[in-house]
Amino acid sequence: MARGPRASRSAQYAWLITGPLAVFATVTAAYFWVEDPKWYTYWPWGLLALVGVCSAYVGVFSVVVRRTTFGIVVAEVPFLLALYYLPPTMVILVSAAAVALTTVIRSAVIVPTKMWFNVAKSAAGFAAAVLVIAALPEIHGAGPGTWGILATAMLVEFGVELVCFAGVMASVQGLRAAQDTFRNAVAPLATSAINIVIGLVFLVALVATSWSAVLLSVLVAALILMLRSFSEFFRQHRTLADVYELTKAVREQGSDDSSLPDVLLDRVRTLMRSEYATLWLAPQGRHPEVLLTARVENKGLLDLSPTPAAVRERAITGGRTVAVGPAFSQTADLRTALREARIKDAVVVPLRSGQTTIGSLEVLNRLGDPRSFRDADVQVLETIATHAAVAVENSRLVERLRYDAYHDRLTALPNRRRITDALAESVKVRAEDDVVGVLLFDVDGQRDVNESMGHAAGDKLLAEVAERLRGIAGPGALVGRIGGDEFVVTLRAESTDATVRLATEMREQLRGPMTVGTLTLDVDTAVGVAVYPDHGSDPEMLIQRAELAANAAKVLPYGVQLFHPALESRAVRRLGIAADLRKALDDDELDVYFQPKVTLADRHLVGVECLARWTHAAHGEVAPEDFVAVAEHTGQLSRLTERVLSEGLRRCREWAEADRPLSIAVNLSVRTLLDSRFPDQVEQLLDRYAVAPAQVTFEISEPGMLGDIERVLPTLYRLRDLGVRLSVDDFGTGASSLSYLRQWPVHEVKIDDSFVQGMATDSGDLAIVRAVISLSREFGLTVVAEGVESELTLDLLEEMGCEIGQGYLFSRPLPYERLEAWFSAQTEPESTPTGEVRRLRAVI
């Protein structure tokens, strides 16, 4: 909603017109002064003419014809007589003085630029008129020749003033305003012509006999009384009609509280004929304070009010209308406050909702006739205020219902419906170089907070996340909550890459400790990104695809994933294989592959990592992350883990019986570690297969362990007490520091392959690997590097002191039969003080 006048150039541009007009009038007056040095001897008649012109300017009669108000000004009559009887210099001075005096009398606030332009315009118009009279034949008597000369002079004066006014409008408000001035000049021209005719009638009568002035005075007085009665009748009729139209407009305004001031204030100011009309609404709940004013000189609304605080305070505290002015003696004590604020009179009506005052409707500085507010005006304003108060209350009720329908009650953020609607509007406006990004933030660990500390603590956590998102989102972004622990940010960005960068930056800013009650929690998020138009134009589809990306981001070290079609097909595929996975476990259709682990110093084969693989009858080979995720969500993870561990232990015993002992490593999910029965299950399997606990290593992903470290630590200690080895897998991808290694009961650190594969070309990855190896050895931990795929990487790791390597340089994951063939082809026995081991013949 606009809150100010249209953009225009400074009013100071009016001086570009005022200056030349003043010079022209001054030069003309000086010229005629020289021509007639005794002009000032006509001062009594000049004073009489000044009184007549001022009376004509002040005594404007308003006539309503078919709901259109016409202002009747008869200033042409005294001016025409002045042109006939007075010297030219006196006429110019009278015209200028009349405008100046009228402005002082009628205006509560004088605008110097406007006043001096009007003075110069009037003086220049009559300067042109006296020049026309001087140029035409000399006036004799009051015959038709005189009529023509005076009428021509008055029309020239009208034309000059019209052109001057159009010129200043063009300078200040533009050419269109000047064109509107010329288009609206027909009615004033017709009125001026009628007044010229009336003035000529007066002139003929006065020239015929000066006694006609008596009759003319009586006629003028009678006309004034008649016109005033006529004007008052139509004023009352117009007031009733305007009140009806205003209340109708307020009622039709409906539930849009923000548009009420636009509908109300200009109409109230016009109806009450005041310089100011103000609406003040007190702050209430989500509704901020409203203070807007319509002023006669401004096209828009101003966010200020000249109403003295003492006047408004009395109306609000007393709950009654307060009217201050000459007609209201009961509030004489407040007139001092009005004078200090340069206000003539004021009426303040409180807006009430039941017994509560919610604001006020105020009018200040009565304009026109009568010169001050009266009791009838107070009654009209009270009627309007009653309707306005009902409109405000209704609009706030509707707005509250609408707000609740589109916002989340816990966080006060837009809900899924609001986000969807806003996203639908955003995708309609496509900028060539912009994309609309949907960033979905999934809060990790919120369910755990609910379970361990109660839902009240979980709600506080979500409220804190919402507050942080509000703070880090840009000014053009919309932040909302669409689910239990899911938040969405929609925004415009330069490109898809820029959107992903923003998501990464926001995730980093969102991370960090959050205080919930007496505890401080480290909260992390996974962020999914979808963009329009690359990933669709339907809002629901964009949000759904951002959710898919967020689910995929949970297993990524950096926690941000851009949607790609494979994620959608994978989600559909996962849904389809849930039932098949149970059958595969029942029928023992899952295979276990083994990937060798080799010591880097002497190339001894020391163990294998056991990895589950599944070839689906219809879908072919299923990615491990897909069926592991399905197992987690369908409660089959424990069976899957047992299948891999049992197969690994069986092969471990067979290798030991064949005099080539190899340790095994099995990946564990954090969900498995949360099962308190798992250590007992491990102990039973170790006993069943007669495998020493030291031959088994459990690898736990660092990012997953960080989210539930307090809950998994008891299980980790129980496993350590059994004698099995524990390894931190994917180290470096989580948010932990190396100091955590001293607190966790682990024996081994496994450096993530993303760092190992990049260390040969990236100095940053190289520095990370070097630091992990150095500090891990300081802590007495074995270091395993996964992802070894080149001899250069192998040499670098060996130089740094890394002990064990695993990767495609040695071997891919192999089924048991192919692993046996690999043993025969790629390794050879070697005797050591601890027994016989297998050694790689060569690395190809």
Cα–Cα distance measured from residue 86 to residue 806, given in angstroms and rounded to the nearest whole number: 116
Cα–Cα distance measured from residue 94 to residue 99, given in angstroms and rounded to the nearest whole number: 9
Q: Does position 64 have pLDDT exceeding 50, yes or no?
A: no
Cα–Cα distance measured from residue 625 to residue 633, given in angstroms and rounded to the nearest whole number: 12
Which of 58-62, 538-542, 557-561, 701-705 reaches the highest mean pLDDT?
A: 538-542
pLDDT, position 82: 85
Q: Does position 816 have pLDDT exceeding 90, yes or no?
A: yes
For residue 830, what is the enclosing H or E element? strand 827-832
pLDDT, position 607: 94
- Residue 273, helix vs strand vs coil: coil
> Which amino acid is present at 68?
T
Q: Does position 7 have pLDDT exceeding 70, yes or no?
A: no
Burial code of 285-296, b = ≥16 C-beta within 10 A, e = fewer?
eebeebbbbbbb
- What is the tens place of the pLDDT at every residue in 577-623? 777 888 888 888 899 999 999 999 889 999 999 999 999 887 788 88
DSSP codes joined into one string, 294-350: EETT-SSEES---S-HHHHHHHHHHTS-EEEBTTBGGGGGGHHHHHHTT-S-EEEEE
pLDDT, position 574: 67
- Percent of the chain as helix, strand, coil, to the nearest 5: 55, 20, 25
Mean pLDDT taken over the chain: 83
Q: Say if CB 707 and CB 444 are below 8 A apart.
A: yes
pLDDT, position 6: 42
Q: Say if CB 262 and CB 302 are below 8 A apart.
A: no
**pLDDT (average), residues 687-705:** 87
Token couple for 608: 């294998």
Token couple for 573: 């595929």
DSSP codes joined into one string, 561-595: EE--HHHHHHHHHHHHHHHHHHHHHHTT--EEEEE
Q: Please report which confidence band the pLDDT of residue 1 belongs to, taking 50, 70 and 90 as the band edges.
A: very low
pLDDT, position 819: 92
Q: Does position 3 have pLDDT exceeding 50, yes or no?
A: no
> Which amino acid is present at 326?
P
- What is the tens place of the pLDDT at every residue in 712-730? 888 999 999 999 999 988 7
